[in-house]
């Protein structure tokens, strides 16, 4: 079954390497505020950390108490990073097997053009419509997060 996909783009006043460092700066993860009923992140902590970053696992707890694990599956801090989200707590565990987020960076002057793309893998055809609705909220949350990253306070 094909995943549900979307992407968000922004130009940030940060280099690709700085953006990549922010991805691994777990103190910053609560800046992801969610959207509407989609919860933001309360905390993130390393479950496993590797020297080459690939295989690093991060346990995420959301503001509603739900949780999941994000694993770095690709790491090229000058151009791309990919994280696989899984081990969802209920109710998302009944709807999806995994989400895959890919960050692509392209230098643009002193900053970078950033594309964040997502693949949401439904658990079954029956759960796909609900996951599609979640993707709409997630897209808005990601777009807002990119705007926040481009206008740091």
The residue ranges of every structural domain in the chain are: 4-150
CA angle 127, 130, 132 (to 5 degrees): 105
- Model's pTM, two decimal places? 0.94
Q: Which of the four CATH numbers 3.40.50.2300, 3.40.50.300, 1.10.10.10, 3.30.530.20 does domain 4-150 have?
A: 3.30.530.20
- Residue 67 has what DSSP assignment? E
User: Tokens 């989609």 label which residue?
Assistant: 38
If 0-12 CB within 10 Å is exposed, 13-18 middle and 19+ buried, where does residue 62 land? buried
Structure tokens at 59: 């346990």
Structure tokens given for 83: 């994280």
Q: Going residue by residue through the chain, which has 153 residues, state the pLDDT in tens, using 9 for 90 and above.
A: 899 999 999 999 999 999 999 999 999 999 999 999 999 999 999 999 999 999 999 999 999 999 999 999 999 999 999 999 999 999 999 999 999 999 999 999 889 999 999 999 999 999 999 999 999 999 999 999 999 988 765
Residues 68-81 as b or e (16 or more Cβ within 10 Å = b): bbbbbeebebeebb
In the numeric block, which tokens belong to residue 114? 């950033």
């Amino acid at each position: 079954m094909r995943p549900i996909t979307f992407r968000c783009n922004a130009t940030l006043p940060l280099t690709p390497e700085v953006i990549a460092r922010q991805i691994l700066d777990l103190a910053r993860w609560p800046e992801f505020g969610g959207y509407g009923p989609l919860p933001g992140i309360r905390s993130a902590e390393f479950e496993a950390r590797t020297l080459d970053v690939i295989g690093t696992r991060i346990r995420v707890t959301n503001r509603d108490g739900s949780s999941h694990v994000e694993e770095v599956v690709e790491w090229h801090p000058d151009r791309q990073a990919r994280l696989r989200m899984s081990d969802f707590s209920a109710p998302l565990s009944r709807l999806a097997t995994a989400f895959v987020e890919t960050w692509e960076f392209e230098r643009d002057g002193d900053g970078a053009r950033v594309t964040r793309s997502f693949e949401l893998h439904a658990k079954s055809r029956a759960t796909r419509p609900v996951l599609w609705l979640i993707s709409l909220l997630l897209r808005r949350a990601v777009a807002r997060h990119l705007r926040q990253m481009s206008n740091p306070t």
